Chains A and B, each alone.
Chain A
Amino acid sequence: MRKALFLLLPRSGCAGRQTPLDPASLQSGQLWSLFQVMLWVCGIAYVLVLSFLGWSIWRARHAMERASPMLNPGDRGIGRGLWGWGVLVGVGLIVLTVASFLADWSIARAERAGALDIRVTGHQWWWRIQYRDRQSGGWIETANELHLPLGRAAHVSLGSADVIHSFWVPNVAGKMDVIPGRVNSLTLTPWRVGWFRGQCAEFCGSQHAHMAFDVKVESPQGFATWLADQRKNVAAPTDPITAQGQKVVTQGPCAACHTLRGTSAQGRAGPDLTHLASRRMLAAGALPMSRGGIQGWVAQPLALKPGTSMPAVPLSSSDAKAVSAYLASLQ
């Protein structure tokens, strides 16, 4: 069955990385099984209805002139058919309801203590992602890219800084809205490594279409290494150009909105840039990460994402090159 549906997914690019049809976790695995039950039951129901209709049309194929109306048709046989059909539909609905409950119960049971503690906050139009740091009691922050260790439950608390968004990475779990004034939660228990794509799934304004995020499921060791790297402050600049870049970023307008841990830039309105270049994509999935991409984004954010809150910052040509070199070095 999965192979048949896979024929629908063209083998290219990101295809298959943002779909509930290729589950990579306990949660989406349950939902995939439930969906298969639904497809069978609903498919059979539709075939029955269409067959009955087709049979009626087939029986009438010789009708030419308008027949005179039958005032007292005998309906006892059909009456029994109605009862039979009602019972069949009732049973089908009960089967589907029970299947739904079982899936829900399995997903609920997967929520457990000792899970990895992650906080995700939706913004117009990016995702703030924070990992609870057991050592310091604080939070390790990044943006737009979520890493998860294989086989371990991750408990994600979901909030919003502005309007309603929805956190959806279908290969890993069903969606959950992020609603200001409310904390929702989702448990993710990945069972396969790989890169997956998520996207905001609640209309949130002008750039709703460009509010994606990446999810990487990796081995527990890989995850631990990644988290340890993310915990560190910014790398020190290694040459004059990146030093100039750091100076412009931390002392210029960038610092008003962005944080680079270990420098004077402590702005919270925009994403944390401490390890910007370690991420796969830029601007919530709008561009692949590259130095050119960073330079283009900084120069003209409104051209790439009209309506974005990030203003175009006028920089001299040498400053622009230095800033992009510096940011591209922040692994």
Chain B
Amino acid sequence: MTEEERDQLARTWRDAPGLWGFLTTVDHKRIAARYVLTTIAMMFLAGMLALDMRLQLIKPGMERMGPQEYNESFSLHGSTMLFLVSVPVMEAMGLWLVPLMLGQRNVAFPRLSAFSYWLYLGGVLMLWVPHALGITPDLGWFEYPPLSGPAYSPGHRADIWAQMITFTEVAALAASVNLAATILKMRPPGMTLARMPLFLWAMLVASLMTILALPAVMLVTSMLIADRLVSTAFFAPVAGGDTLLFQHLFWFFGHPEVYIIFLPAVGFVSAIVPTFARRPMFGYRAMVLSIAAITVLAFGLWVHHMFAVGLPRIGNSFYTVASMAIALPASLQIFCWIATIWSGHPRFDTPMLWVAGFLATFVIGGLSGVMAASAPLDLQLTDTYFIVAHLHYVLVGGAMFPLFGALCYWYPKATGRMMSERWGKLSFWLIAGGFNLGFFPMHILGLMGMPRRVYTYPAEMGWGTLNAIASAGSAIAVLGGLLLVTNAWWSYRHGRAAGDNPWDAATLEWAAASPPPAHNIDLVPVIHDMVPLWSQRDELDAMEGLASDKREVLVTSVIDAEPLYRQHSAGPSLWPLISALAVTVLFVGSIFTPWALVWGAVPVGAALTAWFWPTRQRATSGPLGRARR
């Protein structure tokens, strides 16, 4: 590629400067960056709520928080962490990484990714602006009726919670459709499904799971709003409804959701381990089959959240078996990661420390999950601090630790600078150590009879000491978190220059510059195995033929990644933002009156029509080029 062509390519893909560029960009990296930063801000807020709760529980009979304040805290903490942090951050990391790992210039639907972020931001505001105004949802992160129904929850708190979910679920669906289409149809020539990096497998199935699971929660929260707003009786037994319908529909989403969070983390670990163990992942086929097995099984487990509601024994037994079964593919993955480390030449830089922390911590969460999988035993464990411990071990150990490792690992690619190793290691030990100190005692507290969601407890129960230890550990972990964020912020300006491939990794994202230009990479790479940057060290094979003067991406076939055609890629546009604003008005209005659905549909329809108005030529914009060499 000549210098001239390169300049033209950069110009074609560059955003407008300033605020207009910020609002109209469809650059997946910029959108993903603001997505990740927003989720980190939300994680900080949720963490502050958690510290507040831990301070309230540090000793029995504390009076600094009354029940209303405490109930709001745990509801906001759980809802923020699950709906506004865990799922969105995984999608955001996918949004940033997927095109780079595929050697492509953008995702399949660029404007849809912008829409996804704006709608997610709407969800953030939907929950936190009312909190600032004092109308915080206060019934937990899965507000069961009848408590959340019109009779026992007057006002709009429950509606705010339910509609926040709608925002985030539409955003998640948009992101998932985008990622799935990109991974299936936009791989570089030579990257057959059998040679696709495990991270992309993980993102693909997480996206497919999202598409199947999220409609259930949108449906159930809309049914709740309908019960509250227009006197339907989906969940009101006195009028012929069934409270358990809510639980079934919610958990049909809720259980896959935790795997939607966990599988991208599996992808992170599977990207980090080969790089630092200096060998390709052991057991690629076993890993892919395990990922697929987890995906399928995840949809057959939801009743294990309902073992105490009095369903027939035989039904509970089925879900016991299914819940136990999912431990098998997970355990095979654990073996494959450790075997890769064992048989390689590992170095334990910060990202690998996070992998080790993940292995040591997540397995505890998995084992407490195996205990809770037994329906009869779960009747002693569920709704106690044992389950609080379990869920944090799997979500923090199983998703957050890999996420922190991933942030450290790809930080040099995103910013062009290295994070400080020393502060990175210190923040790891503080977070991992603090977390285990804080949450392991909760297993014991649950076995000592402490139920969940209590704003205080009597001194006579003997729970004070372990609660104090739990509070201390949590504080240490938060300190480590602050250190990690400070490290990231400081290294942005003062970190050592990183170069393109500071870890000497094998996958395609490391072929781009650090940070990548708007067009990501000059030529579409052609690969022949799973470790292109190791086996084609001198120069990557590439494919010519994509235009430099218009935005184009290469579309390839699903299984074998044979090049099919050049696809025009959508450029910057304000319509995703305007559409998101219109949808926001519709969603917010519909918790006050059902007519909002009718009248709100008009601006939404207008914005979407403007967005999709055909102004550009159709696809297949020219002949395909030829692979060099």
A binding-site residues for B, Cβ under 8 Å: 5, 8-10, 12-16, 18-21, 28, 30-31, 34-35, 38, 42, 45-46, 49-50, 52-53, 55-57, 59-60, 63, 66-71, 73, 75, 78-79, 81-82, 85-86, 89-90, 93, 96-97, 99-101, 103-104, 107-108, 158, 162-164, 166, 168, 170, 173-177, 179-182, 184-185, 197, 199-209, 285, 306-307
Contact = CB atoms under 8 A, between A and B. Distances in A.
A56 B374 contact: no
Given A28-B380, A174-B380, A179 B342 contact: no
Contact of A204 (B147, B278, B449, B458): B147
A89 B359 contact: no
Interface string B81-105: 0000000000000000000000000
The 9 A-B residue pairs with the shortest CB-CB distance, nearest first, are: A181-B237, A174-B379, A13-B460, A18-B449, A15-B462, A184-B310, A209-B454, A67-B345, A100-B374
B621 interface: no
A164 B363 contact: no
B146 A164 contact: yes
A235 to B, nearest CB: 30
Contact of A93 (B144, B283, B327): B327
B592 interface: no
Pick the most buried of B335, B347, B382, B535: most chain A CB atoms within 10 A of its CB. B335
Nearest to A74: B343
Contacts of B454: 208-209
B147 A100 contact: no
B419 to A, nearest CB: 17
A213 to B, nearest CB: 13
Contacts of A205: 139, 147, 152
A82 B337 CA distance: 11
A168 B465 CA distance: 23
B356 A104 contact: no
23 contacts: A10-B465, A20-B449, A35-B377, A38-B377, A42-B367, A42-B371, A46-B364, A50-B363, A71-B534, A75-B283, A81-B339, A82-B283, A82-B332, A85-B332, A90-B328, A96-B370, A100-B374, A164-B144, A174-B376, A175-B308, A200-B451, A201-B382, A307-B68
A225 B170 CA distance: 63
A31 B379 contact: yes
Given A14-B460, A46-B364, A181-B242, 15 more contacts: A52-B342, A53-B338, A67-B344, A71-B280, A71-B531, A100-B320, A104-B317, A164-B243, A174-B376, A174-B378, A184-B309, A200-B451, A203-B71, A206-B67, A207-B67
A69 B453 contact: no
Contacts of B343: 73, 75, 78
B338 A56 contact: yes
B455 interface: yes
A69 B506 contact: yes
A208 to B, nearest CB: 6
Interface string B610-624: 000000000000000
B316 to A, nearest CB: 8
B598 interface: no
B194 interface: no
Contacts of A73: 279-280, 282, 343-344
Pick the most buried of B140, B152, B348, B461: most chain A CB atoms within 10 A of its CB. B461
Contacts of A203: 71, 139-140, 144, 147, 452-453
B360 A13 contact: no
A109 to B, nearest CB: 11
Contact of A85 (B309, B316, B331, B377): B331
A18 B450 CA distance: 8
Contact of B347 (A20, A66, A201, A202): A66
A182 B380 contact: no
Nearest to B335: A85
Pick the most buried of B140, B242, B380, B449: most chain A CB atoms within 10 A of its CB. B449
Contacts of B608: none
Contacts of B310: 158, 176-177, 179, 182, 184-185
A129 B82 CA distance: 38
Contacts of B371: 35, 38, 42
B346 A60 contact: yes
Interface in B354-405: 356, 359-360, 363-364, 367-368, 370-371, 373-380, 382-384
B186 interface: no
B462 A10 contact: yes
Nearest to B316: A104
Interface residues of B, number: 91
A57 B356 contact: yes
A89 B376 CA distance: 21
B456 A209 contact: yes
B506 to A, nearest CB: 7
Nearest to B341: A56
A176 B461 CA distance: 22
A175 B379 contact: yes
B370 A101 contact: no
Contacts of B360: 50, 53
Interface in B235-288: 237-238, 241-244, 278-280, 282-283, 286
Nearest to B246: A164
Contacts of B338: 49, 52-53, 56
A166 B328 contact: no
A202 B344 CA distance: 49
Contacts of B341: 53, 56-57, 60
A330 B125 CA distance: 55
A30 B364 CA distance: 24
A81 B383 contact: no
Contact of B444 (A8, A184, A204, A209): A8
A71 B536 CA distance: 11
Pick the most buried of A13, A38, A55: most chain B CB atoms within 10 A of its CB. A38
B448 interface: yes
Interface string B566-608: 0000000000000000000000000000000000000000000
A212 B375 CA distance: 24
A209 B147 CA distance: 15
Contacts of B453: 203, 208-209
A249 B491 CA distance: 72
Contacts of A34: 374, 376-377
Contacts of A175: 308, 379-380, 382-383
B61 to A, nearest CB: 11
Nearest to A42: B367
B376 A14 contact: no
B198 to A, nearest CB: 16
A182 to B, nearest CB: 7
A81 B370 contact: no
Pick the most buried of A18, A28, A201: most chain B CB atoms within 10 A of its CB. A201
Given A204-B147, A208-B454, A15 B460 contact: yes
A60 B460 contact: no
A117 to B, nearest CB: 18
B462 to A, nearest CB: 3
Contact of A199 (B244, B375, B449): B449
A71 B535 contact: yes
A177 B332 CA distance: 36
B421 interface: no
Contact of B308 (A68, A101, A177): A177
Nearest to B355: A53
B469 interface: no
B448 A19 contact: yes
Contacts of A13: 458-462
Contacts of B334: 49
